[in-house]
Structure 1
């Protein structure tokens, strides 16, 4: 035994029944000195002689903290009995914070979802996970990826621009707007995540990539002395099968591992003839250093996945009531995607382009990340993270019409609108049979997009915990650096099909001077294919930050600042095949300030408030060239956010009530809109917005087995500036409700569990002009399961889950391609409904 040390040992148990808690953490506050309990709940921890503050925590239980006095060379026995924490209020916040503060004691609003909840949602999109969070509007009508996520009335376009996604403290992507791919295309949820935290406000938003509006952070399971193994098999109607695996444990006394992954095949949820297929594998190895004073963890990911993406399509319009229409075959049309439109090819200046649409949203590649932290003897803590990522990525999609008419057409109208002879004939490509005179036609476009991406990220910081007067400080100074590069090569082409599910390709022929002319060949509109974009965008970011997290009497205080320099590099071909390029560089600086405070009113109630002044660097793709080599101006968009509220935590009841105020100035909003000639173009609009809102969350356990919960957000958001369209000032922000919420009930007795929830989304408008109203809708979700023990530590759960239980046809959006020109009149309305009801069956083995 080292000189000047002693030993603290004992047992950690459940207070209700005395059962041991294996894997509980026992650690010295403000240091990395700690250990975990063994399979029988026992622990042993070497401590310096003298008085130390020791905490004991375990997920789902209330943390205990006590002072112990250790004598040199002696052993002090100390047992702990932890009581259940039904609301996880005492879980330690890990997202970008350096003091071990719990949710309840953090001066910010946050939402946590633990592994048990995530386990039931591994196959779902980020929208299904995030729509349960107060203040977030999440749309998942497109499928598993590219969810549209809006937070607190910010006009983000839905691509996580104000709510970056992190995995283990490092952003999936550090730069926004190199192209329009959402960041969730680069990873999938699996069983290997310990929890998800969404934090808003406080200095936590200054670290890492930085975002004053909020950060979504997924923390991976890392191995411990207690092995954890899990296999989950899933089936769903519509031809879905998925297998997930998790394995974690100990390699030796100081080395631990965790591995997770999945393989999945899916022909649904909508039948298109296209398939979602692929998988992902993630893992980490953690090495403890110098008797637990430090750790080195190596993380890795490999993904090879293809996902079908659903866009808006023509819906039946009955005086503003939108519903799924009937097709030529008399059956309900759920989508106009079709596997018959996958074999087209056409010439470009750079060779023949072959259709990529069968790949859907394709991502192949991964990342390697290293995480090092060390607690020095003088109480300085060093943390270093670095990541390299490289992905081959395509975002191929069916658009929502031909860009001119955009709705199903009568055969005679189709010919007249395109100047074709009235005696032209329509035949099915697959059979050669003519169409019936009453059959509708639907001309659509496909957009293929190649978007490979590479990124290098590094973060370095030092923190020190110290007492100054009667206050305890946790001071952090650090730097964040990244370089991200992404291509954007786009190809667009058109085809003609009839109007039904999985439209059949249609050929149009006519006679001209005795010669047969083909307007389409195999359904492909002759001459419609072209390459429309050949770009490379990159961004280099360097930031420094300084923050202090303070504990003083009943107060927890945050204060911090961040300064960041961003430099963007733009390369765009001026006319495809011209071999001439516009090249430009833009750069700017941003400054952020955050302050937050919490007052401990009692053991059951805390008051909190926070304020932040932040920035957002405009999307590089929004920057145009004024003349060759000369770009538009580039300056940060300013965000101000303030929040105040109260947290309540009792034995059976927890609640959070808060009000917030958010403004955003001179936002460069980028949209893909129809150009009127069958193509699409990027349209930039400069906007400012303001939102005032109220968020409330409550959860009540009637018994330890029965829980009622819910949340409500009411907000007043509006445009305060719209360049070029002053008439839109005062309008609602597009696609965002002024009222939304959720109600749920859950039961779990350890054998049988069941839950029912209902998410409500209020009225919205489809565009900035507010010319198209979208009615309120709700999504109900049912989950139930039965668990049986297979041994002392082994179990099996058979569960069923139903998404959209009531089979709602709520409309999440109109046609982004039509934008402000879209109206609510006519026989058809182009919109995207939520996905229809789907039933999942899951078998989960734990051992």
Structure 2
């Protein structure tokens, strides 16, 4: 176990016993409880849960005029998600792909063709890093659920653009804080995939009107697709101190995250020579991976721009190594009729990312080699010797260990090692003033606020391509040029490297944002509520990217270092500003205490990312206009929230192969600009016909389409207009029946979780299909006094399904088959055992 894991373990053990050691009398006076920190939320009817996200003041879930889901820690425990993306996949309107591993997964909101950057992740009302989609780290990288998570609130659409930047949705994680009653829990999770996880938290008073809470988790996991090294290793620690005073409170918090997570990428699942032929004998569908111990010491070679050849040693086992320290401070104070809420956060961190990305489809070994024969002859022929053939050997053995792919699958494949370093900081603060104003025509709840952030990053990325055998945990291969007497004349590769420095980027960025916002919720009558809000933001981007060129690194014995990308050493300075004004307008009408309707329109923007500073890419600012109307039902035994929505996203940038009428060339990559439109409906329903039975589920039915595509050269987009956007299904959802009964003093809950995802496509032409799939999970929970025992199984039928194809290459024209032969499969059957002791 790593030093960081040991250190976090000690912190968590301290958190588990801190309260009892600090004040044994308090601990002895408190009777054990059979629940976690979220007991109050679990006991409250869902419609009476108080919502604070996307609102000027706290409101009941039933009263708000937008789609929101609130999950307590107990709810999350029952769902037992594999990761945060899997949790998002249980929320209506959110399509999640949770097969990339612990973090950096894909989640899309209501058809917006974007992999997460229109969705804001908050902790206690502020982001940890201002940008929703930072330089190679998304919100789910920085935000982890553990026992210090009290609730998570998911706001889709609604007023999200007013209370967060770049947001058509807000996912707000609300942490545990202390109270007069000491509370805590420890939890041990064991899994049959080599998972070992320990969670703990403790909270309570430490003085008069002063309270604390602290806890977190440590975890080590061999992985769903074992690569010869742990896929996850590390954890996080969180703590806060809160002091109440007359008319207000102040709270200070800290978060420390130190975690390594391997990234699972697509794998070949069928033979491209015969797409009906499975590759399971060589690369198992459920456990196969291209992650390999062969890349524990990967040497990346590139030119520094001063004529020097540099090398950097990387370790694939490091995965995405995130180290982050964040401090928060919040102050609330009543000022007459007004309330002041000021909060700030400072985050400093680093992400070192190592991953092996898929590139092209597997190739017949003979066909692949023949493609390099002409180049090898040009490079290695001499007046006395000629390249007669190309052959394979295990990478780095100088040809001593000959390898014949025809003795196994007959295929070889290439993949790309990506090494990225992102050293980031983010400081953000927000001030809100709010109050209720009673008038002759109802009551206004108004909020005025200001937000500011300074964030930035020192960034570097280097990619290089490798050649592999087709196998799980594959060995690298060398492709060698032989004479007719079997002498080695040169190498197409270099110690398994097919191409050095295929991509390099380096630079720095510093960004500032200033925002002002206002929102008014007008309670016109007891039944009618209208609200409107506006937010204006001004961004200033500054920074530089290091110039690039193409060079030959100068080794005459290999083709791998020809025409590589290199730094020029010359910075390209960039400065630009962006202004956006998102807004929202909504209304809610309650026909009775059990039935209500609402409607809303809102508009959100996505400003350029920091990568535009390094790369000099065009500064496009897409917007998402959302219309939504919903019905709310809260009857004894029935809770239902039904929402219809219409989302228009533009500009939608699409690149695909088409005929160029200017040059007369056919099947060339061209860029088209248009819109992505999604019409749909989502439902969140929980029916309890009797006390012991719950029938809960969510479903989203939509029609995502691409429309109005235009090319500046007049090329036709008829083959794509009206198609589904890449990887977006028309139907997805889940059904979760549960039965609860008592056995003596114990309460037993048993449940199923059925998930369904409709068919999608890997390309804009919709030529290559990702078939629909469904999975079945099951769980058993036994609560006995202060103990909670849980067994949960995922994909218990070993259902097959692909969450994505091979996006590096197949988006232009598909994979040459009607069904994907290269993709990221679901994880196979896995089981976890969880035991929790609460007090």
Task: Give the TM-score, by structure 1 length.
Answer: 0.82
Q: Is the 8 A contact 1:712 1:739 kept in 2?
A: yes
* CA separation of 1:821 and 1:569: change in aligned 2, threshold 3 A: farther
Q: Encode CA deviations 1:117-158: one digit per residue, 9 max, x unaligned.
A: 2235677222210111111100011111111001111011x1
Partner of 1:666: 651
Partner of 2:529: 556
In 1: Cα distance, 2:391 partner to 2:649 partner: 55
Partner of 1:501: 472
Give the Å deviation of 1:92: 0.7
* CA separation of 1:268 and 1:538: change in aligned 2, threshold 3 A: same
* CA separation of 1:524 and 1:457: change in aligned 2, threshold 3 A: same
Q: Is the 8 A contact 2:202 2:215 kept in 1?
A: yes
Give the Å deviation of 1:433: 4.6
Match of 1:365 among 324, 349, 352: 324
In 2: Cα distance, 1:196 partner to 1:695 partner: 19
Match of 2:545 among 545, 557, 572: 572
- SS where residue 815 of structure 1 aligns? coil
Q: Is the 8 A contact 1:328 1:498 kept in 2?
A: no
Give aligned pairs, total. 743
* CA separation of 1:422 and 1:844: change in aligned 2, threshold 3 A: farther
Question: 1:37-436 alignment to 2 at 5 Å?
Answer: 59-60=40-41, 85-86=44-45, 88-120=46-78, 124-156=82-114, 158=115, 160-176=116-132, 179-209=135-165, 211=167, 213-291=168-246, 293-316=247-270, 325-328=279-282, 334-350=288-304, 351-376=310-335, 378-401=336-359, 403=360, 406-410=361-365, 412-419=366-373, 423-428=389-394, 433-436=401-404
* CA separation of 1:277 and 1:634: change in aligned 2, threshold 3 A: closer
Q: Is the 8 A contact 1:415 1:422 kept in 2?
A: no
Question: 1:378-777 alignment to 2 at 5 Å?
Answer: 378-401=336-359, 403=360, 406-410=361-365, 412-419=366-373, 423-428=389-394, 433-436=401-404, 437-439=406-408, 440=410, 441-512=412-483, 516-517=488-489, 519=491, 523-525=495-497, 528-529=500-501, 532-553=504-525, 554-575=527-548, 576-622=566-612, 634=619, 636-667=621-652, 686-724=673-711, 726-727=717-718, 728-749=720-741, 751-777=747-773
* CA separation of 1:355 and 1:178: change in aligned 2, threshold 3 A: same
- SS where residue 144 of structure 2 aligns? coil
Give the Å deviation of 1:622: 5.0
Partner of 2:382: none
* CA separation of 1:846 and 1:642: change in aligned 2, threshold 3 A: same
Q: Is the 8 A contact 1:618 1:667 kept in 2?
A: no
In 1: Cα distance, 2:127 partner to 2:285 partner: 44
Q: Is the 8 A contact 2:798 2:829 kept in 1?
A: yes
* CA separation of 1:429 and 1:660: change in aligned 2, threshold 3 A: closer
- SS where residue 279 of structure 1 aligns? strand
In 1: Cα distance, 2:294 partner to 2:129 partner: 35
Q: Encode CA deviations 1:40-81: one digit per residue, 9 max, x unaligned.
A: 99xxxxxxxxxxxxxxx98348xxxxxxxxxxxxxxxxxxxx
Q: Is the 8 A contact 1:255 1:287 kept in 2?
A: yes
Q: Is the 8 A contact 2:328 2:344 kept in 1?
A: yes
- SS where residue 60 of structure 2 aligns? coil
In 1: Cα distance, 2:199 partner to 2:725 partner: 39
* CA separation of 1:319 and 1:110: change in aligned 2, threshold 3 A: farther
In 2: Cα distance, 1:836 partner to 1:466 partner: 56
In 2: Cα distance, 1:185 partner to 1:254 partner: 34
Partner of 1:14: none
Q: Does 1:808 align with 2:799?
A: yes
Task: Give the TM-score, by structure 2 length.
Answer: 0.83
Moved more, 526-535 or 388-397: 526-535
In 1: Cα distance, 2:633 partner to 2:223 partner: 43
* CA separation of 1:263 and 1:683: change in aligned 2, threshold 3 A: farther
Give the Å deviation of 1:520: 7.2
* CA separation of 1:746 and 1:624: change in aligned 2, threshold 3 A: same
* CA separation of 1:85 and 1:229: change in aligned 2, threshold 3 A: closer
Q: Which has the higher helix share?
A: 2
Q: Encode CA deviations 1:412-462: one digit per residue, 9 max, x unaligned.
A: 333212215565443446996543542233332211111221111111111
Q: Encode CA deviations 1:708-745: one digit per residue, 9 max, x unaligned.
A: 01222111121223343633222211111111121111
* CA separation of 1:262 and 1:287: change in aligned 2, threshold 3 A: closer
In 2: Cα distance, 1:734 partner to 1:506 partner: 33
- SS where residue 451 of structure 1 aligns? strand
Q: Which ranges in structure 1 are unaligned for 5 or more consecutive residues?
A: 1-37, 42-56, 62-83, 626-630, 672-681, 790-794
- SS where residue 806 of structure 2 aligns? coil
Q: What is the RMSD computed on CA atoms of the aligned residues? A: 3.0
Q: Is the 8 A contact 1:259 1:281 kept in 2?
A: no
* CA separation of 1:730 and 1:624: change in aligned 2, threshold 3 A: farther
Give the Å deviation of 1:470: 4.1
Partner of 1:788: 784
Q: Is the 8 A contact 2:546 2:614 kept in 1?
A: no
Higher relative contact order (CA 8 A, sep 6+): 2
Moved more, 502-511 or 565-574: 502-511
Q: Is the 8 A contact 2:206 2:212 kept in 1?
A: yes
In 2: Cα distance, 1:448 partner to 1:245 partner: 34
In 2: Cα distance, 1:240 partner to 1:322 partner: 34
* CA separation of 1:837 and 1:670: change in aligned 2, threshold 3 A: farther
- SS where residue 493 of structure 1 aligns? strand
In 1: Cα distance, 2:216 partner to 2:87 partner: 19
Moved more, 278-287 or 698-707: 278-287
Q: Is the 8 A contact 1:544 1:562 kept in 2?
A: yes
